[in-house]
Amino acid sequence: MIGWLLLLAVSWRLWVPSDLFPSIPLLGIPSLPPVLDVVLLGAWVALLLAVIAFGKRHREALFVGLALLGVCLVLLNQHRLQPWFYQAILLSILFAALKPERGLAAVRWLTIGIYLFSSLGKIDSQFLHTVGQQFLQTIVQPTGIDISSWPASSRLWMAGLFPAGEFVIVLGLMVRPTRKLAAWLAIGMHTTMILVLSPLGLGHQPGVLLWNVMMIVQLIVLFRLLDRSPADAAPASTEPAAQAVSLPPKRFAAPFALAILAAAMLLPLGERFGFWDHWPSWALYSPHSSRVDLQIHGSAANKLPPHIKAHLAPPDEMGWQTLALDRWSIDTLGVPIYPQARFQLGVANSVIDRYGLERASRGRLRGVADRWTGERETVSFQNATEREKLSERYWLSSQPR
């Protein structure tokens, strides 16, 4: 719980109303006043502090509130569907509905699912040729080795060790005799990633590093790594005989929570087909995600405010300048941009409409990369009609608040 507060603190600009980066609601809801974000955020933090302070007392009601408020915050801005926050919503549902023994097993399976789909997301041409190569070079860099001198096939095989190792961890966590060993291997993986992504390596955002630390702590607690009891032993219950508040009724709550868990474990299978988003599918450090490229003509660049104009690339031979949406998000909000073409199309719509760039903008929507070839479906857009047609592809919103 303290980790959730820390992650909220390092990404605070994402959670408060701001004109510095567009907010794209998850559903096509009417424009709502920004003060609602502040109220929901304050209530979520208050409930989280209450969970920390009161422990077992009112546990069910507090976690129900955390889950509901978390969903509302995401509905107002899908950018908030960061992997750690999606995990927090799922955990809140499980903690609210399940008794400790059953809840422990459920959280373990959720954790296994995270590692499973994270590994599958990296068995991918894009990862092996790009991010996997960056990870590999960062790891061997202290030795002075330059992997660019290696044969291309060797570099690809070495990059393939990242998803292969993660998949071995999944198999180990699923089998009781190897559960603790696999948990220790997972801790080693997270420790390595912290070093790779730290300022000593690739210099990723604090939230990414902190979530890796949280996953280490979670592994220690879930698989009881600091004592000699079996890895799947349940903690002794310290719940009072009668809860002061019990919401919702247990006979409905437990099946509902397990159904949510099953959905969270199965829906990522539809990620490659566009039926489920990349981050809720645990496609982490996986560059195969769909995206949007937006270009502004240099003749209209001065219409943009300085904090956006600073992220324009130098003009090409025709005067077009690419707006780095990912860098804009990181520099403005302190978090990566939501890796989904639908969301990024909403950001493009906001920039074009807000600053009157209809005749001085163009872009490309690039679909999910093929797992084996890395090829993508690409659709260009140059006007509002074409952008609207692309928006009609999606069940969820691609329009700004």
**What pLDDT score does 113 carry?**
97
Residue 238 has pLDDT above 70, yes or no: no
Residues 334-365 have pLDDT tens digits of 999 999 999 999 999 999 999 999 999 999 99
Percent with pLDDT over 70 in the chain: 94
**What pLDDT score does 401 carry?**
87
Structure tokens at 226: 């600091």
Comparing 80 with 251, the larger pLDDT belongs to: 80
**What pLDDT score does 204 carry?**
92
Residue 136 has pLDDT above 80, yes or no: yes
Mean pLDDT value across residues 290-312: 97
Comparing 252 with 349, the larger pLDDT belongs to: 349
Host H or E run for residue 89 = helix 83-97
CA of 354: how far to CAs of 170, 294, 304, 347, 351, in Å? 46, 15, 9, 11, 5
Residue 231 has pLDDT above 70, yes or no: no
In order, the DSSP letters of 341-373 are HHHHHHHHHHHHHHTT-TTSEEEEEE-PPPTTT
Mean pLDDT value across residues 47-76: 91
Alpha-carbon Rg for the chain in angstroms? 22
With a CB cutoff of 8 Å and minimum separation 6, the contacts of 175 are none
> Taking a C-beta distance cutoff of 8 angstroms, is the pair 179, 173 a contact?
yes
- For residue 297, the cross-strand partners are 320
Tell me whether residue 366 is exposed, middle or buried, using C-beta atoms within 10 angstroms of its C-beta: 0 to 12, 13 to 18, 19 or more: middle
Residue 68 has pLDDT above 50, yes or no: yes
Q: Is 297 helix (H, G, I), strand (E, B) or coil?
A: strand
Lowest mean pLDDT, pick from 62-71, 128-137, 229-238, 360-369: 229-238
Q: Give me the torsion for CA of 318, 369, 136, 175, rounded to 10°.
A: 160
Mean pLDDT value across residues 270-294: 96
pLDDT level of residue 392 (50, 70, 90 thresholds): very high
> Taking a C-beta distance cutoff of 8 angstroms, is the pair 17, 82 a contact?
no
Rounded to whole angstroms, how far apart are CA atoms 109 and 276? 19
Residue 27 has pLDDT above 90, yes or no: yes
pLDDT level of residue 241 (50, 70, 90 thresholds): very low
Comparing 231 with 245, the larger pLDDT belongs to: 231
Mean pLDDT value across residues 240-265: 73
Residues 150-178 have pLDDT tens digits of 999 999 999 999 999 999 999 999 999 99
Rounded to whole angstroms, how far apart are CA atoms 306 and 328? 11
Q: Which residue has the tokens 């000699």?
A: 228
Residue (of 223, 259, 245, 251) closest to 93 by Cα position? 259
Tell me whether residue 350 is exposed, middle or buried, using C-beta atoms within 10 angstroms of its C-beta: 0 to 12, 13 to 18, 19 or more: middle
**What pLDDT score does 59 carry?**
83
Mean pLDDT value across residues 189-209: 94
Q: Is 292 helix (H, G, I), strand (E, B) or coil?
A: strand
Mean pLDDT value across residues 366-373: 96
**What pLDDT score does 307 carry?**
96
Residue (of 334, 307, 343) closest to 16 by Cα position? 334
Query: Please, what is the average pLDDT of the chain?
Result: 92
Structure tokens at 221: 């607690």
320-323/361-366 β-pairing: unpaired
In order, the DSSP letters of 45-64 are HHHHHHHHHHTTTTHHHHHH
**What pLDDT score does 100 carry?**
85
- For residue 322, the cross-strand partners are 295
**What pLDDT score does 1 carry?**
77
pLDDT level of residue 228 (50, 70, 90 thresholds): low
End-to-end CA distance of the chain: 30
Rounded to whole angstroms, how far apart are CA atoms 11 and 16? 10
Largest CA distance in the chain: 74
Mean pLDDT value across residues 354-383: 96
Task: Convert 106-141 to b/e letters by CB count within 10 Å (16 or more is b).
Answer: bbbbbbbbbbbbbbbbbbbbbbbebbbbebbbbbee
- For residue 296, the cross-strand partners are 321, 361
pLDDT level of residue 118 (50, 70, 90 thresholds): very high
- What is this structure's pTM? 0.92
Rounded to whole angstroms, how far apart are CA atoms 149 and 158? 14
